Amino acid sequence: MTDMAASRPPFDRAALYRWLFLLLVAGFVAVPLIATLLGGFKSLGDLRTNPFGLPREWEWSNYGDILLSKRYWQMLWNSFVISSLTTIITLIVAAMAAFVFAHLRFFGSRMLLNYFTMGLLFPAATAILPLFIKVRDLGLLDTYFGVVLPQVAFALAMSILLFRRFFRDLPHELLEAALVDGCSYPRFFRFVTLPLSTPILATVGTITFVHSWNSYLLPLVMLNSDAMYPWPLGIMVYQGEFTADWHLILAFITLTILPTFLLFVLAQKHIVAGLTVGAVKG
């Protein structure tokens, strides 16, 4: 008995604190999501008296009526088109710009990189009036690109920084060997850099897609037609002048965040790899 106690590993108090901290953080994230999911199954009265408990009567029609409505699928399609175009254009422009900043030195390159980085300091809300005037002058009001182009502009700063960091950590010998063999910079970018950049492409793509999917202010200002509304604007349907159908709003939110939740789960491995690459290097 004494030998068994001696061979038992000592109690790791640090591991216990680590688990408790992780459970606390997980609780902060999971409780609002679970409350939103369950709130969609309640009646309005049940939601007001019992906001965090299980529904007394499961109102399946809350989700069923939304799924069977044409308006829901129209808004989901608009969100998918806007988010997909934003993600594709951001990936193309940011990857090419970051490759230049990572491997080429030219007059003003440092200043130009700092100029892009300053984009992190300006939220879209501060520039919404000049953006509206510019989009109106371009004739893009109430179109997909009237929302897509401003979103791309605001996503470039962070995307370029993430891409540049990843490209700089790729073995420099690959570029030197390719240049010796006569490979040009565009061919090296297309046939060597991009195939090795799956983690950072998934990371930037997922972040950009989710941010565009949940964007509310830009579509509210740039879109006028009800047929062009993405899902964040669809919540207004359930808000009256004096009251709001919160149980339907929670059901609507649950159904519309589900695609981005599944996207994050599927791309989680690549996202973590893309964000942590180079973290242990100087």
Residues of the chain with pLDDT under 70: 1-9, 237, 239-243, 273-282
What pLDDT score was predicted for residue 282? Answer: 42
What pLDDT score was predicted for residue 235? Answer: 77
Predicted confidence (pLDDT) per residue in 82-130, tens digit: 999 999 999 999 999 999 998 888 888 888 888 888 777 777 777 888 8
What pLDDT score was predicted for residue 4? Answer: 58
- Compute the mean pLDDT over every residue in the chain, rounded to the nearest whole number: 84
Rounded (5°) CA angle 115-99-106 = 60
What pLDDT score was predicted for residue 177? Answer: 85
Which of 116, 153, 150 is CA-nearest to residue 132? 150
What three-state secondary structure class fits 182?
A: coil
What pLDDT score was predicted for residue 82? Answer: 94
Are 230 and 82 within 8 A, CB to CB? yes
Q: What percent of the chain has pLDDT over 70?
A: 90
Phi–psi pair at 182, nearest 5 degrees:
90, 10
